Amino acid sequence: MKILLLFLSLLLSEPGIIFTSSDGVKCRLTARGNCTWRIQGEAKPGAGFNDEGAVQALSSFMGETLDDAALPLRRKGGKTVTAKSPDGSRVQLLPDGSLVFISASGKEVVRIRSIASRDGKTYVKGSLTEGEHVYGLGERLDRVDKAGQKVSLYTSDGWNDTNATYMAIPLFSTTRGGGVFVNSYARSVMDFGSEKAGEWTIELEDPEFDAYVFATDRIAEVLGGYTRLSGAPGKPDEWNYGPVICRYSPDFSLLKGIRSGMKGNTRFLGRGIVDIIKAHCELASRPTAVIMEPWNVNVFSKAPGEIVVADRNADGTLKYLNPEKTDIATRKVRGEGTDGARLRAQALRDAGDYLNALGIHMMGYMRVGSVLSKDAPGFKREYLVKADILSGGKVVAENSSLIPDVYGGQINPDLTRGRAYEYIDVTNPEAWDWYINTVWKELTDCGIEGMKIDFCELMPDNGHEYEGVSVRYKWHDPSVFANAEVHHAYPTFFVSALRKSLEGKVRGGGSFMALARGGGIGSQRNPFMWAGDQLRVFEKLDDQLFAVMNSSISGVPWMTYDMAGYQYAGLKPKPVGVFNPKTSEIDLGRTEAGEGEEVVHIRTSSTVPPEMEARVFLRGTAFTTFTPCVQTHGFVKHVYEFDEATREAYKKLMRTHEELYPLFGKLADEAVATGLPPVRPLVLGWQDDPKACSVQDEFMLGDQYLVAPVLTDTDSREVYLPEGRWVEKATGRSFDSPKSGLTIKVAAKPGEIPVYLLQK
């Protein structure tokens, strides 16, 4: 039997311990305080230890100082070497090569059995105990407990795929109490007993192993340790809680009236901002913010070089058709891009003024890293991200600013016909200064106070080969991404820097709302995230709930979603009128097109009958009410288009949501201070209750409200109440739950939701 010479290379130097793993990897173990330990492994023999991991790269980029100094250790030798931190936690290095992490209370919380490195990857194995539950790994649409699952941590636009993710956080914690955080933006695969019972594994596409282990008894303390390293959650302004409304093109393309626009090969009818706002206000649910998608209000491209622009008076001012300035006379012109951009900005400013007068905040929509306006004064080509594109080992595009996207996990190298985008180079201080003080100054002057930032999963990693194709970046400052894989790091860096740069610069001097789809380590800095485009069917409601709870227990408290779904499971457009391209007029009196005309449609579902859609909508809205952000968007029917009973139920739910604003603010302060999320899986409050640890479809809002959504086509459900005295919010009935817990069956019609208050 091979004798494991684990301790022969043990050094006496403070503050860390250097040892060789059973698989021959030279490692360093250091204590970081607050029951946190760091393990680092050499990429290859003699390479030394690289202290600049993911959180260090993000902290440096943001101009912050990370308090992560190693602390002196007390050590005891022998067959088992014990290292003790000043905080009372300790680690045992066993003769079989295992590292056992023990909390200050004396409880074993994490056991790492081996660390290996081969073929440019790191492989780590650890132990799971029988019945141990596992949580974390970021935004996911599958169940909350990861025990028995194999999970890929790599963002892609999976679109309703429960195995995909828009936000990968390589952090997991267990009901034993401890947690492990892999300090790398690289892709990884983690398995929690699906291949071998009693074992968790990490396969990391990074030859340098760098991880933090939280030797604590409570999962809540793991979240606190993670946020201390990667950044405290940002605090939302009150208006961020919503309702935030966003519509799909062609809606919001003009202030007042109707127009038509294309979605694929179908022409749809669109409503203006004024009409949609009025419809919401009639429901007594005035939105707190409107996302302008698209935000080129009243001005949109018709063909290359041809722009529909606002007509002008003799003195050069815009010509309006009414005193409300909600309608603008238009004419077709052949114009340069700069003129078109200037007129778009004017139209956007008018929209901002209109919304501001109503007390409604205005947001825009963009793709992550979008330059937005190369026509802005002072633009230089070197402000764009540049890269060589390689195919089959040969450069097919040299120093290109068109970066092919990663879509659904695949790369598209065809720069002539495929999807490729230009990005602002965040490593170039001159480019960022131009971006913030020129492009964004104009946008904030127009009244923009936030952005919905889409497609955060597009950028390929540096040098990673996809079907023979790779990207080799040429950053202005290569050191920024030297220790951070671009695919996960760039969107996080961009959104974090954008929000920080625009703090206090928006109308009213408040914070900037960065509503992003996707990211990685550190994404909790930016309220809010959203969980992608889900279908409006009962089968997908639990996906949205799982996305919020999985994010919450991964250190990201600010996750939302398109309330009650973004798109129908089946779309069957319904003809409602005829569009004449020559006159740009819409005839709603007929549905058969003549020569040169096109039929205009509205969105309907071919798979969900109207009465069923109302039930799905209300069930989704009900649990959204008890989360910190109500956001509605999508190619579906919206609340004011439903029947009166549905609208009345919605009114009541939104009144409840507004009444929770003070609680949301209190919980936001708690999240900033401790990393504890507002929306909490039951395990965070009852970690020692096996039943509470297994509950997937209930959550706590703070430590007061237990919320039990109805997610299927039924009017009742079972609710599990952990130990404590509970009062039913709707009826005032009380329930005394013993230590073993209590399960009750309750009724709840659409528009109602079981909610219980914990009495202290």
pLDDT (0 to 100) of residue 299: 37
Q: Are strands 448-454 and 513-516 parallel, antiparallel or unpaired?
A: parallel
Quote the mean pLDDT of the chain.
89
* % of the chain at pLDDT higher than 70: 91
- pLDDT for 354 beyond 80: yes
Q: Identify the H or E element spanning 542.
A: helix 541-552
Assign 342 a pLDDT band (cuts: 50, 70, 90). low
CA distances 537 to 191, 568, 605, Å, are: 30, 7, 10
Mean pLDDT score, 657-672: 97
Q: Backbone phi, then psi, for 363, in 5-degree steps?
A: -125, 160
DSSP character for 328? B
Mean pLDDT score, 189-216: 97
CATH number at 241-368+431-454+488-659: 3.20.20
Distance between CA atoms of residues 377 and 182, nearest Å: 43
- pLDDT for 8 beyond 50: no
- pLDDT for 654 beyond 60: yes
The secondary structure of 147-168 as a DSSP string is TT-EEEE-----SS-TT--SEE
Higher-pLDDT residue of 416, 581 = 581
pLDDT (0 to 100) of residue 319: 67
- pLDDT for 277 beyond 70: yes
Cis peptide bond prior to 528, omega within 30° of 0:
yes
Mean pLDDT score, 199-207: 97
pLDDT (0 to 100) of residue 3: 31
Assign 210 a pLDDT band (cuts: 50, 70, 90). very high
- pLDDT for 683 beyond 50: yes
pLDDT (0 to 100) of residue 250: 77
140 burial class (0-12, 13-18, 19+ CB within 10 angstroms)?
A: buried
CA gyration radius, the chain: 27
- pLDDT for 533 beyond 80: yes
pLDDT (0 to 100) of residue 335: 43
| Contact of 499 with 179, CB cutoff 8 Å | no
Mean pLDDT score, 563-574: 88
Assign 628 a pLDDT band (cuts: 50, 70, 90). very high
Q: Which residues contact 384 (CB under 8 A, 6 or more apart)?
A: 371, 401, 422, 423, 424, 425, 431
Can 17-230 and 674-759 be said to share one CATH topology?
A: yes
Assign 11 a pLDDT band (cuts: 50, 70, 90). very low
pLDDT (0 to 100) of residue 491: 97
pLDDT (0 to 100) of residue 650: 95
| Contact of 641 with 571, CB cutoff 8 Å | no
Q: Which residues contact 231 (CB under 8 A, 6 or more apart)?
A: 55, 58, 59, 62, 64, 496, 522, 524, 525
CA distances 297 to 310, 334, 352, 578, Å, are: 10, 19, 10, 23
Give the tens place of pLDDT for each residue, 719-738.
999 999 999 999 999 999 99
Q: Residue length, the chain? A: 760
pLDDT (0 to 100) of residue 26: 95
- For 393, other C-beta atoms within 10 Å of its C-beta total 8
Distance between CA atoms of residues 750 and 51, nearest Å: 54
Structural fold of domain 674-759: Immunoglobulin-like (2.60.40)
Lowest-confidence pick of 237-241, 448-452, 606-610, 741-745: 606-610
Domain boundaries, the chain: 17-230, 241-368+431-454+488-659, 674-759
Give the tens place of pLDDT for each residue, 471-530.
999 999 999 999 999 999 999 999 999 999 999 999 989 999 999 999 999 999 999 999
Mean pLDDT score, 198-209: 97
Sign of CA dihedral 273, 274, 277, 278: negative
pLDDT (0 to 100) of residue 602: 87
Lowest-confidence pick of 306-320, 373-387, 559-573: 306-320
pLDDT (0 to 100) of residue 13: 43
Architecture in CATH for domain 17-230: Sandwich (2.60)
Give the tens place of pLDDT for each residue, 630-645.
999 988 888 998 999 9
| Contact of 396 with 341, CB cutoff 8 Å | no
Which of 447, 437, 559 shows the shortest CA–CA distance to 498?
A: 437
Terminal CA-to-CA distance of the chain, rounded, Å?
58
Distance between CA atoms of residues 30 and 17, nearest Å: 7
Assign 413 a pLDDT band (cuts: 50, 70, 90). low
Q: Which residues contact 38 (CB under 8 A, 6 or more apart)?
A: 28, 29, 30, 31, 32, 68, 70, 183, 210, 211, 212, 213
Mean pLDDT score, 573-593: 90
Question: Residue 436 corresponds to which tokens in the numbers above?
Answer: 């913030």
Assign 305 a pLDDT band (cuts: 50, 70, 90). very low
Assign 629 a pLDDT band (cuts: 50, 70, 90). very high
pLDDT (0 to 100) of residue 325: 61
Mean pLDDT score, 317-332: 60
Mean pLDDT score, 48-71: 95
Q: Which residues contact 522 (CB under 8 A, 6 or more apart)?
A: 54, 55, 58, 230, 231, 492, 496
Give the tens place of pLDDT for each residue, 468-484.
888 999 999 999 999 99
